[in-house]
Amino acid sequence: MSSIPFSAQLINLFAAAILLLGFAMLAQRRNLALVNLFAFQGLCLCLATLTTAISTGQTHLFYSAGLTLALKVVALPWILYRLVRQLNVGGEAEALINIPTTMLVGIVLVMIAFNVALPISELSQTITRGTLGIALAVVMLAFLMMITRQKAISQVVGFLSMENGLFLAATSATYGMPMVVELGIALDVLVGMIILGVFFFQIRDQFDSLDIRHMEKLKDN
């Protein structure tokens, strides 16, 4: 193991933290704590990108890390905090069915993700290539979270966590996408979040709750 440079070990550490936080989100029942976990995941993503930037000297990765810090550690969690406060759903607990089962499904998904990513990461020459499997696993865990959750807020956190996984994938496979694309993606995510904020209030006014179980009326019959 001594052949792996220190920076790569650091990146792997952060990536592992991102994955663990993905599992933590899957098990977390309270909205406010979920937002905290999301902010931590963003921070780990930012640190991983920063370490990659320092060890490879890719300047645009510094911008990318800054963007992650501004958007995913500060702006989005702040918007989410405000939403949770104003909608008064911070302590609301999600009636999750059987966390252990969800976790087991999550583990299976991680194994699938590693198997899918293995042949591709072997082709990559980046020092971060080992994390591609982790990135795909984070995407899949976020996907699982969106499927199993019934509160609008937790679905959105799942969606944003998926975005985190995709950013990690971009960094680990190719040292990040071209700057113009990353800026565009960031803009989309931010605008999407603002629209969702508006949307939450509309949903609450209409249903008196953010539980999407109320929203299963539209069916084919």
Partner 1 sequence: MDFFVLMLAIPLVSGALLTVVGERDWAPNINVLASLGTFLAAAGLTVEIVANGPRFAFGEQFFIDSLNVFFVTLTAFVGLTTSIFSGPYMRNERDHGRLSKPRLRLYKSMYQLFMFTMLAALTTNNLGILWVAMEAATLTTVLLVSLYRTPASLEAAWKYFILCGVGIAQALFGTVLLYFAAERVLGATGNALLWTHLVGVKAQLEPAIMALAFIFLLVGYGTKVGLAPLHNWLPDAHAEGPTPVSAVLSGLLLNVALYAILRCKVLADGALPEGYAGNLMIGFGLFTLLVAAFFLSRQKDVKRMFAYSSIEHMGLITFAFGMGGPIANFAGLLHMTMHSLTKSAIFFAVGHASQKTGTQLIENISGLIRINPLIGWGLMLGTLAILGMPPFGVFASEFMILTHAMRHYPWAIPILLLALGVAFASIFGKVQPMVFGQTTARRLPHAPAITPVFLHLGIVLMLGLWIPPYLTRWFHEAARMLG
Summarize as ranges the residues that interact with partner 1 (CB under 8 A).
116, 119-120, 123-124, 136, 139, 143, 146, 152, 155, 159, 162-163, 166, 169-170, 173-175, 177-181, 184-185, 187-188, 191-192, 195-196, 198-199, 202-203, 205-207, 212, 214-218, 220-221
Q: Report, in Å, the least distance between residue 185 CB and partner 1.
A: 6
Q: Report, in Å, the least distance between residue 22 CB and partner 1.
A: 15
> Which amino acid belongs to residue 174?
T
Q: Which is nearer to partner 1, 105 or 120 (CB)?
A: 120
Q: 3-class DSSP state for residue 211?
A: strand
> Which amino acid belongs to residue 216?
E
Q: Fill in the DSSP letter of residue 26.
A: H
Q: Which is nearer to partner 1, 90 or 192 (CB)?
A: 192
Q: Report, in Å, the least distance between residue 125 CB and partner 1.
A: 8
Q: Which is nearer to partner 1, 69 or 189 (CB)?
A: 189
Q: 3-class DSSP state for residue 87?
A: helix
Q: Which residues contact 135 (CB under 8 A, 6 or more apart)?
A: 15, 117, 165, 166, 168, 169, 172
Among residues 147, 145, 122, 144, which one has the least CA distance to residue 132? 122
Q: Report, in Å, the least distance between residue 1 CB and partner 1.
A: 26
